[in-house]
C-alpha cells in the first residue's frame, strides 16, 4: 500500500503497511470519510510524521485521538491551526507550562515548531468522526501506533515518551 509520509518513517514502517490490519484500517477510514465528516483532512492524517522525521525524533508526546471539532485537527496531537480557539486539553497544557516555567500563555495553539525540532506529536488513533471523540478507536490505529512506538524503542536510544492523559498512559 502506498502511504504518503516522510521517507525515513515510510522506510521504517513499511512492513506495517502490508499487514492485513492496516489494509482493513485504511478501508475503514476511506468509508468513514466518504460517509461522515471526519478529521483531520486526509492530507493531514500522517502530518505528525512529516513534521518530525524518524531521524530527528527525540521526544514522543502521545495523545488519544484528534480534536473532533470543525477546523481543529491538523494531524498533530494537542494542536490546532493558528486562529482556532484552544480546546480545553490544550488550554490545560499551556496553563501548566505557564505555571511551571513562567512562560506566557501562547497565542498560537499550533506546536509545529516543537515537531520540527524532533517532538513527535502522535495520537493513538490518527482519525476521528466529527463530534465523536474515540469514534475511530479499536479499528487498527492503536496497532499502528504501537508499531511506531516499538520501532522507536528498538531502533533509537534516548527517546523521551510523554503520555498526556489517561488514555495515553495505558499505552
Cα separation of 100 and 49, whole Å? 29
50 among known catalytic residues: no
Q: Are 21 and 140 in contact (CB under 8 A)?
A: yes
In this structure, are strands 128-129 and 38-39 parallel, antiparallel, or unpaired? antiparallel
Q: What is each CA distance from 58 to 50, 52, 127, 162, in whole angstroms?
A: 15, 9, 24, 11
Catalytic pick from 44, 50, 65, 100? 65
Sheet holding 160-163, edge to edge: 119-123, 59-63, 160-163
Contacts of 114 (CB under 8 A, 6+ apart): 121
Active site residues: 65
Amino acid at each position: 500500500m502506498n502511504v504518503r509520509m516522510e521517507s525515513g518513517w515510510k522506510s521504517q514502517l513499511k512492513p506495517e503497511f502490508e499487514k492485513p490490519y492496516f489494509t482493513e484500517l485504511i478501508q475503514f477510514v476511506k468509508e468513514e470519510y466518504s460517509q461522515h465528516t471526519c478529521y483531520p483532512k486526509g492530507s493531514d492524517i500522517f502530518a505528525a510524521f512529516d513534521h518530525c522525521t524518524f531521524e530527528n525524533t527525540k521526544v514522543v508526546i502521545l495523545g488519544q485521538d484528534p480534536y473532533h471539532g470543525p477546523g481543529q485537527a491538523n494531524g498533530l496531537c494537542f494542536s490546532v491551526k493558528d486562529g482556532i480557539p484552544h480546546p480545553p486539553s490544550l488550554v490545560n497544557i499551556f496553563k501548566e507550562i505557564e505555571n511551571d516555567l513562567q512562560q506566557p500563555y501562547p497565542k498560537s495553539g499550533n506546536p509545529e515548531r516543537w515537531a520540527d525540532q524532533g517532538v513527535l506529536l502522535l495520537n493513538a488513533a490518527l482519525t476521528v468522526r466529527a463530534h465523536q471523540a474515540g469514534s475511530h478507536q479499536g479499528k487498527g490505529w492503536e496497532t499502528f501506533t504501537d508499531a511506531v512506538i516499538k520501532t522507536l524503542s528498538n531502533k533509537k536510544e534516548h527517546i523521551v515518551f510523554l503520555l498526556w492523559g489517561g488514555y495515553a498512559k495505558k499505552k
